[in-house]
Structure 1
């Protein structure tokens, strides 16, 4: 498990990636993986204290920028800071989101609650793509959007989250068409990923039953997601764009009758 440090860092490869929502969870795992492969990674998050702390722990190839991606002015300033610091941008990973999939029952769902989820989960990635696109084009870069298996299946009372992630999946192939061939755009849809901090995973481990329900035999890890994102950013995925990649241990293909 990647925690905060990077165990196998390689020399800087000159490429710069911007990872949103990178102060914890999947975003932090992606940042750590890319740093280990030699990327310069900009960690963007609203949590200034933790974001600065983890960037310091990740080493010289990590740099933190505070950003609320739902605010256009903050996106403009944040992207300008990245370009001012590094002079280029090769990859954008739209991971930041309001991650709680549950909202109040439909009859009690307030419009401002709905709008807030869509502002962060859908409008934020659009704004980042808009302002990063010229710099990504210059280096034949790539965008990876973190969607969810809830683009394909739902629980009750999850309208805002499901709609935002479904919209982000559609935005993915729309951007691929608009930005190609200079920029590739793909989506990664995680299922159940245990993205808790290491200390919490140790004190409250998941049960054998929780692992065993997955056809793969276990719940996912941040590394399962990060490795796929890294591949999508690489030259080995040069013919891949506009696609969704599901990382869920087979759960969306499992027939459940009870």
Structure 2
């Protein structure tokens, strides 16, 4: 199943993408479904109700729907850095024995089609194609072999990074939290639609149509199950938490010459089995 959030005259709605191009309004069909968190927390009982509602409902064309971030209010947003060996090498970094971890705040996040913002403070906004895990079950101390049971689904993340600010300290928080730099979407695909642990699927970025990154989740240093086991050793993972699993090689700062996002660009992240997350790039508006 693919779940979306979209705007309507009545406000934000939860929808199900049926086939390739039809969106069914689940909020209209099931009044208890007001947010994506309702879907995530609803479990198998709600999933059965959703399937029944879809079977008897008409939809609207995907192209006529204004998509929002599929998870506009994530709980924790936990990100891995240097999780692909070739990406670590292109930046001159040693391969990590333990994942590089950082957090993102909600104000840094945007949805599909919304502009990624080049801040007034820097012209070094970079792209990062990433698979993101959506946690579905509260959990702690999860074994790798049991990690699949706590995953609700997956989405696409563009971990836009302001590189000079990222390097101002050993902690990456500043460079990873500028407003409007982290894109999420276009929808959440439930875990049963992908291989176990989302292993072995292609991941790419395209800048103005040109391929910049082209890799596969099989090249992760820390797999999806291993990542969940590591994180749940440290903290309780909760429904609606988002885990970004790192980016492969081909990012802009490591190119010669470097390639950074500029106003007027279009950046698209593709992950096989999920879809494509596309965002224009715009300059930050000057303060009034």
- Give TM-score, length-normalised by structure 2: 0.29
The structure richer in helix per residue is 1
Which structure carries more relative contact order (alpha carbon 8 Å, separation 6+)?
Answer: 2
Taking structure 1 as the reference length, what is the TM-score of the superposition? Answer: 0.31
- Bigger strand fraction: 2
